[in-house]
Structure formats: C-alpha cells, structure tokens
Amino acid sequence: MMRRLGGRMIGSLLIFAATTAAAEDVPKVDDCLDRLEASCAIPPRVHFHATTKLTSESYVRTSDLEVSRDGERWQIVRRTFGLSAYQERRITIHETSELILGSNPFDEAAMKRAGVPDPMSGAAPPALRVIRMTFAMENGAKDQSTSMRATPSAMAAEWQAFRHLDLVAVLFGTLPGDDGLSLWDVAREGNRQSVLGSPLVDGHKTVRIVSWTRFGERTMWLDPRLGYLPRRIECAREGHHQWGLKTIDQLSREKSGLHSTDIHTATNLVLDDFRFRVVEGRPRIVGFHVWYLMPLAGGSETREFEGEVRVSEWGLPTGDTPPTLKTGGRISVGTPVNVEGRVDKRFEWDGRAIVVGKLLNIDQRAIRLQ
C-alpha cells in the first residue's frame, strides 16, 4: 500500500513539476507585445516599394506604393488602378497621389510670405498632397481632375504616414480601421490572454494573443523566432465595434463612394501567409495574403475581398536626403495649392515651398454665411 501511495505521490509531483515548468515557459503578454513593438520599429531612414492587389466578384484594385522616409520627412507616391461595376456599367479609375509629410514642404520664410499659420504646439509639421484622378466609363466618357492641398497643422493627425499606407502599414504594426493605434496598443487596451502551444501556423510554433477591444476581437499568432512578428492576424468586428472613430453600424448607413484607396468598414479581416526577409540584420515583413468582408452602404449586402501584398526594394538608404524629399518630387512649378483655412488667397508651388499668387476677389461675408 505504501509503495502504491508513494508511486502515486511521485506521479503527482512529476505532473505538478511538468505543469509548473510549462507555466513558467508561458511568456508574459506584455513581454510579447514589447518584442512585437521593437520588431516593427520604423527606421529613421527607409525606402521601399509595395504592391497591393485586391479582388472581389465585381471589383479589382491594384496599387503601387513608393515610400521614402528621412527623419520627420516622408514621401508616399501611390499609383492605383481600379475596375468596378457602377450602375450596370464598368468604370475604370486611374489615380496618382503624392503625399509629402514633414517640415520640408514649407520653409519658415515661405510660410510667413503666404500667411500660413505656424504649426500648433506639439502638432505634426505641415503636409502637402497632390491627387490626379481619371475616370473612364465603358461608353468612352472620361473625367479628369487634379487637386493639391496643403495642411499647416489643424488636421495633423490625418497626415500621419501610416494612415496613407493602407494594408502596408502592417509592416510597422498598424491595421486599417484602428484609428492609428498600433497592434500592441490595441491589445493592451482590451482584455487579453496569452496561450502557449497554439496550433502551428505554416509549420511554425507561435504564441497566440487574444484581445477583446472596442475595435473587435483580435487574435495574433506571433513567432518568437522572428522577434514576435505575426504569422497570422484575425480581426472580427460587429456593428457596435469601431472602424476609426465611428462604429460599423454608423458607417454602413453612410453612402459609399465609387472607389476608395483604403479598406473600409471590414467586419472580418484576416492576414496570413506572411513572408519575411532579413534587412540590415533583422527580419522584416515583405508580404502577406489578405481576406476580408466589407458591408456595403445600408448594410444590405456584404462583399468579400481577397488579395496579396508584396514588398520589394526594402532598404535603409544612407547619404544625402533623397532629391524627391528636397524638392517635392514630381510636382510642377506653378501648380495651384489649396491651403486649409485660407480661402482668401491663391497659392502656388514654386518647387520647394508654397507662395502667394494673387488675392482673389472673394466675398468673405458670403463664405461665412455658407
């Protein structure tokens, strides 16, 4: 009897020891998120190209991004082709947009000449955006438009770089619809748990973190051998969950446009099949597969999208600032500029900053009454 009890006790101790060891092996959630944040850190100087292709039953969109960063200065050039059905016709859309962020678009002297207010204390530096868009219908009708907008500071949050990278922002730890918050910040603000020994993802052992947040239920499978970069991300939203500052229900009631360069109001979003490359001695995300569901206006229909993101020419340049960041790149001298908050003057691009062209004959009282 004693031998039998001794065997049971030893067995219990072995089970307890194994359980304790397994518990000790479970990484802390905050440690995992800290490692993810470090692995997604944006280099102070970087240049890369990325291609995104999304398709559904009646929609195709391809986008090419060229991104450069030098400290606070960013340049994001996007070339987009879209093909979709509209009112029983097909419409093609060609769009080129160039976004310049940072202090470079307006030097202090030019800002003073133009009467542009100085950036508010603590706000991001000014931003400049040029959009050229061409619509073509099946019947041959075309519509072209070009706009150029400058934002001194009032909408500084809108001009944060990751908001204009679409799905490519995942390289730096941000998902569309999260109001600019990072993956680790979203996980920390909600209820979360860490699970060791979750199912293998593409044959790789991962740590799974589940969070319940205002942006929906978020599950991330992180690979410890890659600095806790993701192998898979799932985000499930319902009507009361937020997409940006609004809920899915609010957005589904609003009228959708013909075309958007952003994924909008996705109720279920899955990123998987992540691909990696060692850049300057550390692993970086260079591609992934995407699938998501998007409710259309009025919430009467949900459209399914699938696509791929591929990143090339991932590099950390050295030397002088790229010429495009110095000069404004492809913007032609003399291009009209609309400056936020200044409807009383006409502005032009002079190659490196904005200048006042001439005063416009505008009835300010009429504007105030609108």
327 vs 191 pLDDT, higher one:
191
Average pLDDT over residues 313-322: 73
- Give percent above pLDDT 90 in the chain: 28
Residues 6 or more apart from 83 whose CB is under 8 A from it? Answer: 59, 60, 61, 90, 91, 92, 93
Q: Which residues of 14-35 are buried (b: 16+ CB within 10 A; e: fewer)?
A: eeeeeeeeeeeeeeebeebbeb
Distance CA 51, CA 298 (A): 31
What average pLDDT is seen over the chain? 74
The neighbouring-strand residues paired with 210 are: 193, 219
Distance CA 351, CA 162 (A): 26
Contact 348, 355 (CB under 8 A): yes
Helix (H) or strand (E) holding 7: helix 2-25
Give the CA count within 13 Å in the CB-facing half-sphere of 191: 2
Three-state SS at 104: coil
Which residue matches tokens 């359980």?
Answer: 19
Contact 75, 90 (CB under 8 A): no
pLDDT at 177: 87
pLDDT at 39: 96
327 vs 235 pLDDT, higher one:
235
| Per-residue model confidence as pLDDT tens digits over 45-92 | 888 999 999 998 888 889 999 888 887 778 888 888 888 776 667 788
Residue length of the chain:
370
| Per-residue model confidence as pLDDT tens digits over 113-136 | 555 554 443 444 556 666 666 666
Distance CA 255, CA 17 (A): 60
Residue 270 backbone dihedrals phi, psi, to 5 degrees: -130, 125
pLDDT at 211: 94
Report which of 259, 288, 258, 261 is spatially closest to residue 276, judged by C-alpha positions.
288
195 vs 351 pLDDT, higher one:
195
Residue 366 backbone dihedrals phi, psi, to 5 degrees: -65, -35
| Per-residue model confidence as pLDDT tens digits over 233-265 | 999 998 899 988 888 888 777 654 433 445 667
Domain locations in the chain as residue ranges: 36-315
* Paired tokens of 251: 């957005």
91 vs 273 pLDDT, higher one:
273
Q: pLDDT category, 284, cuts 50, 70, 90?
A: very high
Which residue matches tokens 């890659």?
Answer: 226
Task: Spell out the long-range contacts of 283-291 with Cβ–Cβ below 8 A and sequence spacing 24 or more.
Answer: 283/39, 283/226, 283/227, 283/229, 284/171, 284/314, 285/170, 285/171, 285/229, 285/230, 285/311, 286/310, 286/311, 286/312, 286/314, 287/311, 288/170, 290/54, 290/167
Contact 231, 270 (CB under 8 A): no
pLDDT at 260: 44
Q: Tell me which fold the domain 36-315 belongs to.
A: outer membrane lipoprotein receptor (LolB), chain A (2.50.20)
Average pLDDT over residues 284-301: 82
